[in-house]
Amino acid sequence: MHALKSFGLSAIILLIAALWMASGTLVLGGQGAGNGEKSIAGLIEGDQNGSLTTALDEAGILAKPHSDEEIARARMTIAERIAQENGGSDAIVSVRTQTFTLQQLPVEVTLRGRTAATAHITAAAETSGIVQSVHVTKGQRIEAGELLCTLEQGTRQAAVGQAEAGLAQAEAGLAQAQLDFDTNASLRERGLAPANTASAVEAALASARAAVSAARAGLDNAEAELERTRIVAKVGGLVEAPVASVGEMLNPGGACATIVQLDPIVFMSNVAEANIALARTGLDAKVTTVTGLTLDGKVTFIAASADNATRSFPIEIEADNSSFAVRDGLTAEAVVNMGTIPGHLLPQSVLTLDDEGVLGVRSVKGGIVEFHPVTIVSDTREGVWVTGLPASIDVITIGQEFVRDGQAVRAGSEEAAGDPVQSNQASTRT
């Protein structure tokens, strides 16, 4: 009994499903509503006017084909529907506009590269000697003129004393020669000495003067040789290896220490050939390192020849690094300001596409919609910078997707409507 009840219930469900499916329609050929639409009951009977079809139709459960009016409305565009709801296909649509004027767009080129020290300088010995003391350590910051290493003086101090004694002796001889010359001149004026004695005292005086010059040069050389035992920094920077050790023998040219000159720091990169016409020395730049440090600098060098592999031009930017915060060899990025070009700053929401897929904006001039293609130059948080528009233009900000080129519209200003205005757009309005 339970099985009969189940089979009966199943049969009722199948009958209802069959009637429901038979009451619908089938679209043949994939043409859509009104094109190839057939009733399922008619297909089952093989006749669209058969008894089953007639019975379902009289019962009011047979689906009706879409009317021509319904099909036409389904195929209408959004703009045509709005126009029809407004009273006809030629009804004037209301839109909102905003006036944008030409501004100067900063042309900024982003370069990726690395930082580099101005120079790596070796503080070398100028004379031979054993290192007596080292006054710096690796990583120490030093200034120009600071003592780095001291070599043993050896006999150099004695040589200075000897040169000083030789100079004193030569100066004494010069004084005696000068006295003899003056005495001889006085005697000749009074006729007490023959005239031919003048040449002898003049020669003696000249010889004494030469002896003094030679002695003074010898003292200078001895003092310079003694001074060479003190190796000092010629530039400021950070001390790096190699650093000499106490007791080490240094010959002329031997390294006492290596100095990395970090102020100014140099940013090295390459400029693409597409931007090389705008590049020039003296341009302002902002350098940001991978560690988050930011420095202001200027372009100091642009290569005259391009790199054969990349077809780009090496460029250098120098920035103040007096704090030594930026190290040599850091990955960095520089933004170079290369001037300005005229453009418009627009909100992204006003951009649209025409029927051919061209990017642009729709504006209103004399109550008629006009489409203007644009070229995006820069995308910022404040909006998009574009070129290709007139100096002043009333851009449709609300309703641009519901109108077409050449259509008559009723334009209302956003300001007149009391709409909130973003601060980045206020500067573009008239």
Q: Which amino acid is at 283?
A: L
| Domain finish residue from 166, 197, 228 | 228
- The reported pLDDT for the residue numbered 71 is 56
275/302 Cα distance (integer angstroms): 12
Residues 346 and 422 in one domain: yes
Q: Which amino acid is at 185?
A: A
Q: Which amino acid is at 214?
A: A
Residues 57 and 97 in one domain: no
Give domain status of residue 349, yes or no.
Answer: yes
Closest by CA to 390, choosing from 356, 417, 365, 355, is: 365
The rounded mean pLDDT for the chain is 80
Question: Which pLDDT tens digit goes with each residue over 170-215?
Answer: 888 889 888 888 888 888 788 777 877 788 888 888 988 998 999 9
CATH assignment at residue 395: 2.40.420.20
For residue 380, pLDDT beyond 90: no
Of 142-146, 366-370, 380-384, 422-426, least confident by mean pLDDT is 422-426
246/379 Cα distance (integer angstroms): 61
| Domain finish residue from 161, 195, 228 | 228
Preceding omega of 242 cis (within 30 degrees of 0)? yes
Mean pLDDT of 123-136: 89
pLDDT exceeding 90 applies to what percent of the chain?
A: 23
Residues 412 and 351 in one domain: yes
**DSSP sequence for 279-341:** --TT-EEEEEETTS-EEEEEEEEE-SS--TTT-EEEEEEEE--TT--SPTT-EEEEEEEEEEE
Question: Which pLDDT tens digit goes with each residue over 37-61?
Answer: 565 555 555 555 666 556 656 555 5
Domain residue limits at 405 = 93-105+342-426
401/191 Cα distance (integer angstroms): 124
Question: Which pLDDT tens digit goes with each residue over 210-261?
Answer: 989 999 998 999 888 888 889 999 888 899 888 888 888 989 988 889 999 9
Of 97-101, 194-198, 260-264, 374-378, least confident by mean pLDDT is 194-198
**DSSP sequence for 222-269:** HHHHHHTTEEE-SS-EEEES----TT-EE-TT-EEEEEEE-SSEEEEE
Give domain status of residue 366, yes or no.
Answer: yes
- The reported pLDDT for the residue numbered 359 is 92
Q: Which two tokens stand for residue 182?
A: 């003056």
Residues 100 and 159 in one domain: no
- The reported pLDDT for the residue numbered 419 is 42
Give domain status of residue 168, yes or no.
Answer: yes
Q: How many other CB atoms are there within 10 angstroms of residue 286's CB atom?
A: 16
For residue 11, pLDDT beyond 60: yes
Preceding omega of 390 cis (within 30 degrees of 0)? no
Question: Which pLDDT tens digit goes with each residue over 131-161?
Answer: 999 998 888 898 888 999 999 988 888 888 8
- The reported pLDDT for the residue numbered 425 is 39
323/338 Cα distance (integer angstroms): 28
Per the structure, the count of domains in the chain is 3
- The reported pLDDT for the residue numbered 363 is 92
- The reported pLDDT for the residue numbered 236 is 87
Residues 25 and 63 in one domain: yes
Give domain status of residue 185, yes or no.
Answer: yes
Residues 97 and 59 in one domain: no
Residues 99 and 163 in one domain: no
Give domain status of residue 289, yes or no.
Answer: no
Residues 47 and 101 in one domain: no
For residue 333, pLDDT beyond 90: yes
Mean pLDDT of 316-321: 93
